[in-house]
Structure 1
Amino acid sequence: MKSTEAPLLVKNKQQSEEEERERIRWEKMKKVASMAAPMVAVNMSQFLLQATSTMIVGHRNELSLAGIALGSSFANVTGFGILFGLSGALETLCGQAFGAEQYQNLGPYTFTSMVYLLIIAFPISILWIFMNQILILLHQDPQVAELASVYCLWLIPALFGYSVLESLVRYFQSQSLIFPMVLSSLAALSFHVPLCWLMVHRFEFGVKGAAVSIGISYWLNAVFLWVYMKRSQTCLKTRIYMSKDAFLHTKIFFQFAVPSAMMCCLEWLAFEVITLLSGLLPNSKLETSVISICLTTSTLHYNLVNGIGDAASTNVANGLGAGNPRGAHDSASAAVIIAAVESVIVSSTLFLSRNVWPYAYSNVEEVTRYVTKMTPILCISILMDSFVIVLSGIVRGTGWQKIGAYVNIASYYIIGIPIGLLLCFHLHFNGKGLWAGLVSGSTLQTLILFLVVGFTNWTKEANKARERILDEKVRRDDSFVN
């Protein structure tokens, strides 16, 4: 009798364990999805601040459109992208500290980020002051360069507002406090659109008005989040205070901030390089227009799927900080599955509408026909980007920013761009060749990051996170005693 019952008990136990794992997996997927959806609203609202400004200015004349487009591109690569990347250190530090219930660390980490981002904004501002001369050296049209430099000059206050805002966004994100960010970002966007229209068209300030309205909107968003943090009981244990102790966390902040910025900026720069190279082709106006349309579409998708990456980063960091390697693993797996579904839906929709969607950007038959031919390559690019963005979020949550930076260098600058140059200039695939080079880079990046995440010892990473948090606690206590 016992020999008959024993295998049955083992089988029932295994079945119940499998059901429990499936239940936990499903719960993690719902948790990641419930955070990703509102984060999409936050990211899209911030993206639309600059996008709507470009559209409003673009209705003045073609020269104004070219000037603000060039200025925005330069500002994103040399300014906003750097600050955005540096603030990514908080996804590791605040996320893991919150998971470990070391709530008192979140305020100092965030204030450290604010201080250093504001300091770094100063040399960026000086660079923007001399932007006109830089663009002329890069053989840009003098009139367009002049407008772009004026736009960036008046955008400098926005740079400092963005420094505070991005630090606060990471602070709230690490605690899964998404509602305040959704409310503040939507309020800022709603305020920005009429303000920008008035500044540009009613008061005739042109690109200056667009830049000033962006700066006001960033500061408004930042002030709203700061007031909420100071007044809300939900932030009582993690509240940010201004203190000279900000410099106490300098080493650990830059340990994650520098490679995090490299991860972000190297990828953005690769796309800007491709855009500049398209200007060297025989039919440069057509090639640049098509590449710009593909880049705009890709950027729009980036801001859409980045919400999933943010959710993955937060949940993985919280799990590791809490000493819950299984939870971190399940969160990472759930995010990848959601990204897979999203990428299939978006790329399939884009491919099926390949004869229609190009008309959203242009009515010129030559341009729309070329974009239609580019759509299959763009679909593969979007497919890969979905995985890259989510895997990069997992990397930031785990604290592997250095690995991410090295992978970016290898993928885009050793493989992607050289392949793009070969296909474009030697095999004469032109713009399609340049974009195919980027696709090869993002495909390699996806494969490497998949291997890194797939072979991760999550228990080891959880132990490392706990040790780091305990070391910081000892260092802070020693500093307080001294």
Structure 2
Amino acid sequence: MEHSGNEHNHPTLQYSMQQSSSDTPPSAATHHSSELEKVLSNTDLPWLERYKKATWIELKLLLRLAAPAIMVYLINNSMSMSTRIFSGHLGNLEFAAACLGNQGIQLFAYGLLLGMGSAVETLCGQAYGAQRYDMLGVYLQRATVVLMLFSFPIVVVYVFSRPLLLLIGESKQVATLASVFVHGLIPQIFAYAVNFPIQKFLQSQSIVAPSALISLATVGVHLVVSWIAVYRIGLGLLGASLVLSLSWWIIVTAQFVYIIRSQKCKDTWTGFKWEALTGLWEFVKLSIASAVMLCLETWYFQVLVLVAGLMENPELSLDALSVCMSVNGLMFMVSIGFNAAASVRVSNEIGAGNPKSAAFSVVIVNLVSFVVAVIEAAIILSQRHVISYIFTGGERVANAVADLCPLLAVTLILNGVQPVLSGVAVGCGWQAFVAYVNIGCYYVVGIPIGCVLGFKFNLGVKGIWSGMIGGTMMQTLILLWVTFRTDWNKEVENATKRLKMWEEIKKPLLKN
């Protein structure tokens, strides 16, 4: 298929013009997007000037998306981190329990529901690019129903967290305290089920700043109420986790109020629809592919925390590793912000029938994210001897953390590329393929090599982490190769077919 510089000759746009029930003019993002395609297709311009112009347009589009998205993820992560810090100042045992509960159990729910929510990102992003605005609200509601249904089995895991942690060999004292912490996070599961579809719904329309402002206001409330609950009232670990659940529900409620009141969402949110309760099985299939892809990534480092609990000195291993994982988690939020921006940019461009712009967006977002990751790694290495004191006291923990920091720096640099490539995969709808790659690289290569290095060669946590870095590197190289070889014209055709398929699912429902 040969690409034409004239967007109106493209089948995706013809489809959107024929089918669209909205007369809304394209947004500023859509305008800049078509401008980017024109610049990249203009062979009259010298190639250097063409790419300079295109880079400037793309950077403006990218930063408008990435900056608020990074802020949202950083603030939401900082709420979770502040809860661990409040717990850590109750004692080292409480810190180990909160970290095990948070990174050993809670990340299970986060990974599963965020992964399922990324199906909304593919569908909403491509529908918005094709100007099928009416479909976005139905996708949002359908996703929320599906995620709510999947939340109930997760509650069972939370309720039985203590026997599960004991079953995999965690110490009785740490497992008991961790389960208390986890029980207070049960309301948070249902907040996740509503929050992630809302977040993807807004991001696909390049509406990111309101979520950032809502999260910023909530974190202030969270810190004050956490301090009162943990220290003044003396509710301890349970109080800390209950406040975290409350804070997430504040964010969800405020975002939903914004959607139903904002003029920016008047064409994409047209009220509750009965068709959201139908076609659920098709949505479940796409959601499961998305969930498996993201869960395999999120749980990968969760395994590292769980295995560290099996070491000879589990409390020191868990404390040192938890500090590094907390820093990694915070910096990973920057990468997830770029992941979201990459997904929105690629899905919008593919939906709008702009293959050159989609390919160019992939290059720019990867370069920007990689540079930011290198800067983060340099800062962490320079401060490696003092980082641990933010979370918990003790010179032994500080020395253990400093010893692990070189591995943390390598992980941060890899995180500058790998999540962005995953975002590209979500934008294109490649979730099922990436899930297979993740199984092979992470669970067939990374974890077994890590366990051999850690236990057989007595390298401890450093050995396990080194093996897992190898798995991440392998996965990153495969995704780079696949992305480099992508036929973006074919991806545009696939997006057109996907929109038609989902429209056919919806049409018979409207006749009932």
TM range (shorter): over 0.9
- Give yes or no for the alignment of 1:340 onto 2:370: yes
Residue 273 of structure 2 is matched in structure 1 by: 243
Distance 1:423 1:331 in 2: 39
- Give yes or no for the alignment of 1:185 onto 2:215: yes
Residue 3 of structure 1 is matched in structure 2 by: none
| Superposed displacement of residue 318, structure 1 | 0.5
Residue 491 of structure 2 is matched in structure 1 by: 461
1:379-399 CA-to-partner distances (Å, cap 9, x unmatched) read 211111111111111111111
Residue 103 of structure 1 is matched in structure 2 by: 133
The number of equivalent residue pairs is 471
Runs (4+) off by over 4 Å? 12-15, 358-363
Distance 1:356 1:214 in 2: 27
Which of 372, 376, 384 is residue 406 of structure 2 equivalent to?
376
- Give yes or no for the alignment of 1:442 onto 2:472: yes
Relative distance call for 1:281 and 1:216 in structure 2 (3 A) is closer
What pairs up with 1:66-77 in 2 under 5 angstroms? 66-77=96-107
| Superposed displacement of residue 181, structure 1 | 0.5
Residue 174 of structure 1 is matched in structure 2 by: 204
1:107-141 CA-to-partner distances (Å, cap 9, x unmatched) read 01010111111111112112222222222323333
Task: Please give the secondary structure, in 2, of the residue aligned with 1:345.
Answer: helix
What pairs up with 1:131-146 in 2 under 5 angstroms? 131-146=161-176
Residue 192 of structure 2 is matched in structure 1 by: 162
Q: Which amino acid aligns with 2:182?
A: C
Contact 2:118 2:290 in 1 (8 A): yes
Residue 321 of structure 1 is matched in structure 2 by: 351
Relative distance call for 1:184 and 1:304 in structure 2 (3 A) is same
- Give yes or no for the alignment of 1:151 onto 2:168: no
TM-score scaled by structure 2?
0.87
Distance 2:105 2:457 in 1: 33
Residue 225 of structure 1 is matched in structure 2 by: 255
Which of 86, 107, 113 is residue 116 of structure 2 equivalent to?
86
| Superposed displacement of residue 46, structure 1 | 1.0
| Superposed displacement of residue 321, structure 1 | 0.7
Contact 2:120 2:200 in 1 (8 A): yes
Which of 408, 411, 420 is residue 390 of structure 1 equivalent to?
420
Residue 417 of structure 1 is matched in structure 2 by: 447
1:219-239 CA-to-partner distances (Å, cap 9, x unmatched) read 111111111111111101000
Which of 317, 325, 334 is residue 295 of structure 1 equivalent to?
325
| Superposed displacement of residue 31, structure 1 | 1.4
Q: Which amino acid aligns with 1:68?
A: A
Contact 2:104 2:302 in 1 (8 A): no
For structure 1, which segment, 154-163 or 393-402, has the greater mean C-alpha deviation from structure 2 after superposition?
A: 154-163
TM-score scaled by structure 1?
0.92
| Superposed displacement of residue 71, structure 1 | 1.9
Residue 25 of structure 2 is matched in structure 1 by: none
Question: What is the RMSD of the two structures over their aligned residues, measured on CA atoms?
Answer: 2.1
Q: Which amino acid aligns with 2:293?
A: M
Contact 2:126 2:352 in 1 (8 A): yes
Q: Which amino acid aligns with 1:330?
A: F
Contact 1:111 1:241 in 2 (8 A): no
| Superposed displacement of residue 401, structure 1 | 0.6
Residue 5 of structure 1 is matched in structure 2 by: none
- Give yes or no for the alignment of 1:276 onto 2:306: yes
Contact 2:146 2:284 in 1 (8 A): no
Task: Please give the secondary structure, in 2, of the residue aligned with 1:238.
Answer: coil
Distance 1:278 1:173 in 2: 36
Which of 424, 437, 451 is residue 407 of structure 1 equivalent to?
437
Residue 115 of structure 1 is matched in structure 2 by: 145
Distance 2:190 2:355 in 1: 37
Distance 1:147 1:288 in 2: 14
Q: Which amino acid aligns with 2:311?
A: L
Relative distance call for 1:344 and 1:136 in structure 2 (3 A) is closer
Contact 1:263 1:405 in 2 (8 A): yes
| Superposed displacement of residue 242, structure 1 | 2.5
| Superposed displacement of residue 306, structure 1 | 1.2
Which of 455, 470, 480 is residue 500 of structure 2 equivalent to?
470
| Superposed displacement of residue 372, structure 1 | 2.9
| Superposed displacement of residue 481, structure 1 | 2.8
Q: Which amino acid aligns with 1:299?
A: G
| Superposed displacement of residue 240, structure 1 | 5.4
Contact 1:109 1:249 in 2 (8 A): no
Give the number of the structure whose residues are more often helix, by fraction. 1
Contact 2:108 2:299 in 1 (8 A): no
Contact 2:121 2:344 in 1 (8 A): yes
Identity of aligned residues (%): 34
Distance 1:347 1:163 in 2: 33
Contact 1:33 1:308 in 2 (8 A): no
Distance 2:91 2:390 in 1: 19
Q: Which amino acid aligns with 2:283?
A: F
Ranges in structure 1 where 5+ consecutive residues have no aligned partner: 1-11
Distance 1:355 1:310 in 2: 33
1:433-470 CA-to-partner distances (Å, cap 9, x unmatched) read 11111110111111011011110001100111012112
1:195-238 CA-to-partner distances (Å, cap 9, x unmatched) read 12112222222222222212221111111111111111110100
Contact 1:111 1:240 in 2 (8 A): no
